[in-house]
Amino acid sequence: MSHHIVEATNLSYAYPDGTRGISEISFRITHGESVTLAGANGAGKSTLLLHLSGCMLPAAGTVRIGDATMTKRSLPQVRRAVGMVFQDPDDQLFMPTVIEDVAFGPLNLGMSEEEAVRKAEEVLRTVGAVHLKDRPPYKLSGGEKRAVSIASVLALSPDILLMDEPSSNLDARSRRRLITLLRSFAHTKIIATHDLDLAFEVCERVILLRDGRIAADGPAADILTDGDLLATCGLEMPLRLQSCPVCGRKKID
């Protein structure tokens, strides 16, 4: 069964004001891959992610999620397979308590209240946030909100996990916890991020975008060590791969 496959073919989209978001994007992501979408601001990362989640439909070209080509008719099927974690957790958290937020999705999938609460507690435990279950989301820290927003998506048991800038506004400890969590997931993962150190640790493949087009697509170890290529796309090598400005030695072997 191909339900974990994500495929784009000649995908293009222009916004109503004529701004080109993405142009002739083609790639195929298979079961269990962890892929970074990297690029400077305006490169098309978020636009592409919104197309893969079904939040936007192609103006030209196609998106395929598993056996379904993305259309209005197939959206319910696609949204059962794909879970999207937005850049701002406040876009996802809206219930009075954390446990209600995380149980909301399972309840809408037809689970009983008892089953939904059990599922919510299970995924909150997975992300290390079960102790927050009775707290109002608006009283959580940024890192806590991020963990709960991830839990609210995992509660839906998606085959494919999409994340938009998951490490933004996190302190060092919360960021490290997030990296450890992402590395433990067996999901197919597609992560749009400027955090190339996170990408280097979590993803084995990078799709590099520039001006709405794919500039490179290949192993993270190749693309994230190519300083010239990254520079043409407005990026720098991960800090851990850069030479020390004092002694000139690499930070890692």
Segment 36-61 shows an average pLDDT of 92
- Residue 43 placed within a domain: yes
Give residue 84's domain range.
Answer: 6-90+158-241
Phi/psi for 178 (5° steps) reads -60, -45
- What pLDDT is stored for residue 69 in this prediction? 93
The structure's pTM equals 0.88
- Residue 109 placed within a domain: no
- Residue 220 placed within a domain: yes
- What pLDDT is stored for residue 7 in this prediction? 96
Query: What pLDDT band is residue 1 in, cutting at 50, 70 and 90?
Result: very low
Domain count of the chain?
1
In terms of C-beta density within 10 A (0-12 exposed, 13-18 middle, 19 or more buried), how is residue 194 classed? middle
- Residue 146 placed within a domain: no
Q: What is the CATH number of the domain that holds 55?
A: 3.40.50.300
- Residue 232 placed within a domain: yes
Provide the 3-class DSSP secondary structure of residue 90. helix
- Residue 102 placed within a domain: no
- CA dist 101 and 9 (Å) reads 35
Structure tokens at 153: 């998506």
- Residue 98 placed within a domain: no
- Residue 116 placed within a domain: no
The predicted-structure confidence for 71-110, as pLDDT tens digits, reads as follows 999 998 888 899 999 988 888 899 999 999 999 999 998 9
